[in-house]
Amino acid sequence: MRRVLIPVLAPLLLLPLIPQPAVAHGFGQSYDLPLPLWLYLYGAGAAVLASFVPISLFAGKQKSGEDAPYLYPHFNLLRVGFLRALLTSRTLLSGLRLLSVGLFLLVVVTGLLGRQNADANFAPTFVWIIWWVGLGFFTAFVGNVWALVNPWKVIFEWADTLIRRLGARNGLELREPYPASWGLWPAVALYGVFVWVENVFPGSSTPVYMAVLVLIYSVLVWGGMVVYGKETWLRRGEVFSVFFGLLARFAPTEVRVVDPTPCQGCSDTYGTVEKGCVNCYERFARAAPEDRELNLRPPAVGLSRPEPLPPGGVFFVIAVLAGVAFDGLLETPLWNELRRDLSMPQVVGLVALPLLFFATYLGFVKLSQLSGGGTGGIRRYAAAYVYSLVPIAVAYQVAHYYTLLLVQGQGIIRHVSDPFGRGWDLFGTAGYSIYPGVVDAAFVWYSQVALIVAGHVVAVYLAHLVALRLFEDPGRALRSQYPTLALMILYTVFSLWIISQPIVVEEQSIETAPQEDSPQPAPMENLREPPMPDIP
């Protein structure tokens, strides 16, 4: 064992060097070490080389025709007796919904009444780590459970049922016609606000602010549901339903209604074919039991469908691609220098990044259209390719966050026993301390690179399927692929680059939200370089 003695001059006489820990991504510090340079270079090289694997293996071997994107192997889990009993169990479903509503209320109540310290309160760990990161992973790798347990939806349904029983025949919904031109723009705007809260808002992990934000959003969701109807708002304005719905396209499970008659009206978001509709949750809920399928399918096939997108649909996906990268980008030295040089507030970057992504995307799509000899406007091509980039974002999100979930997520064990931070010990776990060594740094590095390269290969494969459908002729499809391939390499290498950068802790002493247990640090002007320590 090597013994190291390090003399450290602990704090400065006047003030600490950096006044406040980073508050990026809502709450919770990752202990990840940045990817070493050599591994970053290997990863980038591997992504470029691996790009040609799907193309050379699958070139020109695709089935064509209207139904082609739905002709993937799938297996109906409801055909297995015990799975059918389990998955269609009313008790299980009601239990999950009750749990979800209970957790929702707990977040609000602990936020309002609990101790105002992010480490002691249930709300920050639950919302930012378990729900936002954890449920995102679950949705992408298992399936869309949010569509079942969304507490806003469940509470609205309860209220609606109650009011009908009390005699109001039409329930709570006014069902005003939703303006078609709005499309997904409400969800885009709300996603922007959410990313701002997550990454920029200094009070993102202050429990009381979180509770207030949840309440404000609740008013908005229920307002939208009352005015435009529950189903319309869930598809257009409830940003988390739209977000998890996007991730669910990557998932290895789907719900399918076999009888096509109830599928009308789902076409713009979920796709309709003669054989029924996939992931059209409201139709699924209404369909006759014998028409329902809960299918296991190859992952990511839900991202290769040539569906028409509502207005704002392409931009929403691009905004998600940018939003996912934003948190990591904020901590890179380059971004911080850029911000300092341009004296740019964080919020400018928040708006500029998706616009930059969008312009880049359209540029490469145009090139692809030109080199494939495609006719017509760019709109059709932009809509066709946009989902194919999602696997890279999913892979990056997992690479970036999985250690946070495994390490800081352990905090929830402590918080369930003492959700308010008042010294309770309901289940005897209040004293649990986080074990940081779940995964070794070297394993983290290799798995991060492997994940991102794998996501890249899936993305290239999906783009290839899309190209074959758009251009029909395999030769033209192949030529159209080089620009999209370049775009994907760019996005993949950008993702790898972010995780290879040393982490800069953001300096923000003035904007910091008040925390009960931490007095405000003094302003930056007083900083001095420390004198050299006396080395013994």
Partner 1 sequence: MNPDEINVEKGDFVTLRLTSESLVEVHVHGYDLEGNVSPGEETDLSFEADTTGRFEIEDHETEAQLGTLLVQPR
Residues of this chain that interact with partner 1 (CB under 8 A) are 1-13, 15-21, 29-34, 433, 436-437, 440-442, 503, 505, 515, 517-519, 521, 530-534, 536
Q: Which is nearer to partner 1, 4 or 166 (CB)?
A: 4
CB 446, min distance to partner 1, A: 10
Q: Which is nearer to partner 1, 34 or 265 (CB)?
A: 34
Q: Which is nearer to partner 1, 28 or 323 (CB)?
A: 28
CA distance 142 to 190: 25
The answer to whether 222 and 156 have CB atoms below 8 angstroms apart is yes
CA atoms within 13 A on the CB side of 263: 23
CB 262, min distance to partner 1, A: 52
CA distance 255 to 143: 9
CA distance 413 to 403: 16
CB 172, min distance to partner 1, A: 45
CA distance 524 to 271: 54
CB 536, min distance to partner 1, A: 7
CB 445, min distance to partner 1, A: 8
* Backbone φ, ψ for residue 356 (5° rounding): -65, -45
Other Cβ atoms within 10 Å of 259 Cβ, number? 15
Q: Which is nearer to partner 1, 252 or 521 (CB)?
A: 521
Q: Which is nearer to partner 1, 17 or 53 (CB)?
A: 17
The answer to whether 243 and 235 have CB atoms below 8 angstroms apart is no
The answer to whether 256 and 278 have CB atoms below 8 angstroms apart is yes
CB 224, min distance to partner 1, A: 39
The answer to whether 129 and 411 have CB atoms below 8 angstroms apart is yes
For 364-406, the three-class secondary structure string (H helix, E strand, C coil) is HHHHHHHHHCCCCCHHHHHHHHHHHHHHHHHHHHHHHHHHHHH
Q: Which is nearer to partner 1, 423 or 519 (CB)?
A: 519
Q: Which is nearer to partner 1, 100 or 500 (CB)?
A: 500
CB 22, min distance to partner 1, A: 8
CA distance 232 to 343: 41
The answer to whether 502 and 333 have CB atoms below 8 angstroms apart is yes
Instruction: Provide the 3-class DSSP secondary structure of residue 297.
Output: coil
CB 511, min distance to partner 1, A: 15
Q: Which is nearer to partner 1, 242 or 503 (CB)?
A: 503
CB 503, min distance to partner 1, A: 7
Distance of CA 194 to the CA centre of its chain: 11
The answer to whether 223 and 239 have CB atoms below 8 angstroms apart is no
Q: Which is nearer to partner 1, 91 or 433 (CB)?
A: 433
- The one-character DSSP state at 294 is E
